[in-house]
Every structure is written in structure tokens, then in C-alpha cells.
Amino acid sequence: MDYDFQEVSTTNSTCVLRFKVKVAHDAHVCLSSSEDQDATPIYEIFIGGWDNSKCAIRRDRTKPDRAEAETPDVLSADEFRGFWVSWNSDCKIEVGREGEEEPFLSFTDPEPFEITHYGLRTAWGASGEWEIEQVAGPEGEEADGEEKETAEEKEESEGLEPVETPGEACWVPTKAGDDLPEGAVVGGADLECELYIARAKHEGALLPGKYVPAHGTTYVAWGGEEHGKEEFEILCGCKPVWVQVNEGDEIPENALPGGRAEDGETLFVGRVQHEGTTTLGKVHPSHASCYIPFGGQELGFPDYEVLVRQ
């Protein structure tokens, strides 16, 4: 499920979000400088994750998590539980329970950014109700325009159908020789083994490609050639859904961003059926093609499948 974003209009140097939630597991809060679902930088706070056993703070959808705590049964599907999230201009983020001053999660980012929006969602198949009690500064000044409204009420008022997602997409840094990270996503297959969705840096770009376990290497396509990489990131934690794109079609709006070209253009994850394989590569929107690394070459195809978010 996408985050439901709200703007933080208070100008205080320190802000506090107070809320209650009733859900069995996985209540997620994000802090961002944009309401774009795929924007970075972004902080994500996972409350009651890992089957309601742990909480964590993650930056830019990338592991390792910046802070975590064992919190068994922190959420409940039967009653509202209260929490607060605070942050300041230095991006010191703290998370605590209603009625408790001491946080159970705390993280100060050495690379802070301006937080202008917060977002709420449930994930991993959970659905629940939220009550936003206050978004305020340290003196209790409530932000303009904030209203108490449950997520369920908002969905009804906007005519939206509740959407469940089976997982949380994140990119996990990996090196050649490392074990596959938990939840690594299979996206294709060649004649030797399954292929995993991966990406790697090359010549100022961040390129989606294929991780080949038999080689312990990720391959990306660039400049007409196939390039092997020993340091890369593997997509984890989501169930892949693929949509066919034919020559002349627009890329679906819910396509999952997978990287960027050297000029900053967003790239997406694609795959192509080729010579008995299903090979992963990069979708380059301005080229209207999917490029795959194959047999030492970069091969382009106008018809392909693109990875989308559910």
C-alpha cells in the first residue's frame, strides 16, 4: 500500500507526531521532503514489523536499518495503541509509546534533510485504523490544517478500495561471495539458474540488471556492452508483478523505479524473453526500450515486461 501523505506545516525546529493505530502488525510511518511515493531521501519507521516482534528506522529503503528494537506484541488488532514520533532540523528521530517520555527507537542522521511531509500506511497484508491526534512543535503548537481522520474514513471519503501489499520493496547492499539476503526477489532465469533483480553503479549511473548466483556477479547493460559487478544491491521483500509493454505503449504509472541514468533519468526494472531465457535489464523511458545484459552485449528490445508495484 502506498503512503497516505500529509504536509507538515508547523515551522518549529522540533515536531512531534502523535497517533493511535489499531492493526495486527506493520504500522509504517515515513518522513520525507516530498509526497512522491518513490522520493529519496526518506525515513521509514516500521512499528510492529516482523510479525509484530520488532520496530526499526530505515533510510532510503536500504538495509541495514539505522535503529531497531525488539518490541513483542507492540501492536494489537483489537485495541488502539498510542505512539509518538519526533524529529528536529538535525534529523534526530525518536519513537516512543503514548504516556512514555523515553523513546524505544532513536537515530540521528549525519546527513540531515528538510522534512516537509509525513506518511502513514499498513503493509505486509495488514489493514487497520489510524487516529492522528496531533502534529505539533515542542510548545504544543498544532500544525495548520491537521484533522483527526482514520485511514479507513479517508479511503471511504475518497472512494478508494483498500489495497494490500505482500511486501516492502527495498534494495540490500551485497558483494560477490555474500549469501543472498533474506527475501531476495527472483525475476527471471537463464540456462544455469534463477536470476535475481539487482542493480549496480556504472559510469555515474545506477543500472537495474541481473544477479546470477552461479557466478556470484551482477550484470548490467551500458554502452553496448555487458558489465559484471562485484558490488551491487539486490531487491528484497516484495512479490514481483510484471506488466507487458509493447512498442508505443506508455510505461505504467505504478512501475517500480529501479535506478537512474547518468543524466538523472529514472530507470525501471524490465525483462525480456531471449534465446530460452528470461533476462532482466533496465527500462529506459526516453529510448522506449528495455536493455538487457546478454552474452557480453547490451541488447535493446521495444517489447518487454516491466516490474510494477501492487
- What average pLDDT does the segment 168-196 reach? 89
Where does 4-158 sit in CATH, by number? 2.60.120.200
Q: Who wins on pLDDT, 161 or 46?
A: 46
> pLDDT tens digit string along 127-179?
888 888 766 654 444 443 333 343 334 333 333 333 233 345 788 889 998 99
Span(s) in the chain for CATH 2.60.120.200: 4-158
Per-residue b or e along 142-151, where b marks 16 or more CB atoms closer than 10 Å to that residue's CB = ebeebeeebb
Question: How confident is the prediction for the chain on average, in pLDDT?
Answer: 85
Tell me the three cell numbers of residue 305.
515486461
pLDDT on residue 39: 83
Question: Could you report the per-residue pLDDT of 84-118, keeping only the tens digit for each?
Answer: 999 988 899 999 999 888 999 999 999 999 899 99
Task: Give the H or E element holding residue 245.
Answer: strand 241-245
Cα–Cα distance measured from residue 285 to residue 129, given in angstroms and rounded to the nearest whole number: 38
Q: 114-126: buried (b, 16+ CB within 10 Å) or exposed (e) per residue? A: ebebbbbbbbbeb
Sole residue written with cell 505504478: 254
- CA-nearest of 228, 206, 168, 202 to 284 is 206
Whether 121 contacts 2, CB under 8 Å: yes
Question: Which of these, 284, 303, 149, lies nearest to 206 by C-alpha position?
Answer: 284
User: 111: helix, coil or strand?
Assistant: coil
How far apart are the C-alpha atoms of 111 and 104, rounded to whole Å?
Answer: 22
101 phi/psi in degrees, rounded to 5: -80, -35
Give residue 276's pLDDT band: very low, low, confident or very high (50, 70, 90).
very high
For 210-230, how does the pLDDT look when each residue is reduced to its tens digit (9 = 90+)? Answer: 999 999 999 999 999 999 999
Q: Which three cell numbers stand for residue 60?
A: 532510503
What's the whole-number mean pLDDT along residues 225-252?
A: 92
Q: Which three cell numbers stand for residue 29?
A: 510511518
Phi/psi of residue 275, each to 5°?
50, 50
Q: State the average pLDDT over residues 19-48.
A: 92
**pLDDT beyond 70 at 301:** yes
Q: pLDDT at residue 236 above 80?
A: yes
